[in-house]
Structure 1
Amino acid sequence: MAGFLLRCLSLVLALVLIALPGEAARDTDSYDGNIFALYAGNGSLVPPATTLAESQAAGRTSVLVYYLDDSSTSKVFSSSVSEIQRLWGNSVDLLPLTTDALQDRGDQGQTDPAHYWKGIVPQVVVLDGSGSVLLDSVGQVPLEEINAAISAATGIPAPTGGSTTLSFNELNTEVISR
């Protein structure tokens, strides 16, 4: 009889725990998982398809985006990073990099992401194919500013008309160019 009651109690407890709602909040510094999948609807951004060293060796434009999954400012900025990928596609190497691996690590030169990181998230760095820094900004960097730097690096005209942020639920936003 005691075994039966214990199994019933375990079942009830399991059902209660399963029924608890998941909590994720864009405006908190809580860890909710991959911010690009959750807040920008684009989990394909991480891990990056290439490294900075490979991008620079190929003479390609590199866009470094430093972020933390448990940073509210990074969560808000994640939709802008997704829009950069949508706009520029294969024209640039987009490298969203969590700064956890860069903490307390020495600078190993210009092909090392730690070389450019200022210790603040989010941070965007745009490097042309020769490794020259065309943009190095922190915070909620306007998409137009990033696009202008990428355009200067690639020679491809930047999208015109500005951008709009659409919110389609309490978690996800989408930044689109007009």
Structure 2
Amino acid sequence: MILADRLITDCHVAAMTEGGAPYGAIEDAAILIQGGRIVWVGPRADLPVHKAVETDSLGGRWVTPGLIDCHTHLVFGGDRSGEFERRLEGATYEEIARAGGGIVSSVKATREASEDELYASACKRLEGLKATGVTTVEIKSGYGLDHDSELKMLRVARRIGRDAGVRVRT
């Protein structure tokens, strides 16, 4: 008998196993979880004898492995969304830089931002990643371009790793 905190049913699973259906798809699956870890996953018809504290139905939704963003510059100051609009309207990177934009504006804003400001803006960006299934991020520095600013960015990235509910590698 498998003891579980949670049984998840009425779902489909992309198990990423070799052979069989594409992506290791398991239609009409069940998942047993104990202590925050999957202890069994497979077709609901093959569900082993178990005792679960709670059962959740996913209403036919898909369950996939967590995604990894292996190269993100999540921690930076400023907002360059206006530059994106200018690029869509035909402005060149050189024109944007001459107007005070581009990476130079990100470096300046990053250097001027406090750790708390960088943390708040990075966490906001991270929420978007988490909403799409990202469970691990590799956060790179790179917008400080001096020793103290780069260290400040790395401290913020590590703080995110402690607080944000995702795995963080710097």
TM range (shorter): under 0.3
TM-score, normalising length: structure 1: 0.21
Give TM-score, length-normalised by structure 2.
Answer: 0.22
Which structure has the greater CA radius of gyration? 2
Higher fraction of strand: 2
